[in-house]
Copies of this chain bind each other. A is one copy, B any other.
Amino acid sequence: MQLLLIHSDNIEYSAQKKTPVAEEEIIPQDSLDEALTVFCAVESSDEDDIEGTVKKAVAEILETSKKLGTKNIMLYPYAHLSSDLSSPKAAVEVLKKMEAGCSCEEDYTIKRAPFGWYKSFKLSCKGHPLSELSRTITPGDVEEKPEKKQVTHEF
């Protein structure tokens, strides 16, 4: 899984049009202030261990939110972060489980933009040194493929 985490003054989206893989029951538009926006691409290798991937991703997201001092999280599916995507079915399962996992945290507000829709969005990134982070999450019990590097960017 590829994650791009952005500390945002505001994030808002509005679903415009279905793609062929659109999920059906959605919140068509929503917004969140003072949020950690989490752009996510679920990858094919994540399908080998969905629970493990979700657990690692949730831990990473919550740790980042605590460092930044925000309890507002917007999960935002973003296929463009990877060239090796999972099936749409697995992606929706993972995203829903990430939403549920983050929601276990007390006093947090978790929102999730719909998968498989063309969406307009507005995003404002705060711009401090920790306001943009990328993370590669690999399933824990799967041997890392040689061509995949574990990468942490803080710039």
Contacts and interface: CB of A to CB of B under 8 A. Distances in A.
Q: Report copies per complex.
A: 2
Interface string A122-146: 1111111101111010000000000
Given A16-B128, A17-B128, A127-B16, A83 B151 contact: yes
A95 to B, nearest CB: 15
Contacts of A21: 155
A134 B80 contact: yes
A67 interface: no
A153 interface: yes
Interface of A: 4, 14, 16-17, 19, 21, 79-81, 83-84, 116, 118-129, 131-134, 136, 147, 149, 151, 153, 155
Shortest 10 CB-CB distances between A and B: which pairs?
A120-B127, A147-B147, A83-B151, A80-B134, A16-B127, A122-B124, A121-B125, A19-B155, A118-B129, A119-B127
